Amino acid sequence: MPNSSIDLEFRASDNHLLACLPPAILARWLPELEWVSLELGQVLHETGARLTHVYFPLTAIVSLLYPMENGSSAEIATVGNDGMVGFALILGGDTTPSRAVVQSAGGGLRMGAELMKHDFNAVPAVMHLMLRFTQALITQMAQTAVCNRHHSLDQRLCRWLLMSLDRLKGGNLIMTQELIANMLGVRREGVTEAAHKLQLAGLIKYVRGHITVLNRAGLERRACECYRRVHDEYQRLLPDRTAT
């Protein structure tokens, strides 16, 4: 756990959005950034609840889910070391109908909502950066909706795995089939079948919730065009992004 400004600066650079800030702004934010451990299944903000913090994941992935009245839900976007959880604050709202849930445990940094709102309104560099990230996130949401309507579960699973990998270091994921099914809004049996196909094709190894990508290039070829469109939009709007 970081315990000094030097540690925090090192950690902050692991989040692409923070790394893109002007050095003077990041230096001013460092004392306000708090290291947090993000546990699997932890809810960072609930539907309709007032947002008190924004989160910058470093080694964790957070899913933005839209819940239904019957208790079911589906993922509309994922945020990892590419961005920030809590973007509703900069759009003028203190609440959001979505729920933010940690889908892959790890660490992150969080900052109070008031500082984010103040600097978004007062510092043009912060506003422009956050708006570019928000546009990229909205693109991901829109592409996810199209993908869920027009592409097979096999293709959607490939897209989801690739997007998760882009937001983590390494080629390993810890994801149960039940969790993946909930994120994709499908039945667990469908995920089991799709994952089995990918394993038979030599693209992944899946053992007791541990997914190892064996052939990323093959996974990209098997995915629909939605993955590449979202990836390219992040590259266009946040060109220093280090994920590949």
Return the SS3 of 7. helix
CA distances from 32 to 12, 73, 89 (A): 12, 33, 17
Question: pTM for this one?
Answer: 0.87
> Is the Cα torsion angle 178, 181, 186, 191 positive or negative in sign?
negative
CATH 2.60.120.10 residue spans of the chain: 5-137
CATH 1.10.10.10 residue spans of the chain: 152-223
Q: What is the reported pLDDT for 242?
A: 43
Q: Which CATH architecture has domain 5-137?
A: Sandwich (2.60)
User: Two tokens at 105?
Assistant: 């445990």
Q: What is the reported pLDDT for 243?
A: 39
CATH, range 152-223: 1.10.10.10
Q: What is the reported pLDDT for 179?
A: 77
Under-70 pLDDT residues of the chain = 1-6, 9-10, 170, 240-244
Q: What is the reported pLDDT for 75?
A: 85
Chain centroid to CA 120: 21
Location of structure tokens 């990323």: 216
Q: What is the reported pLDDT for 4?
A: 56
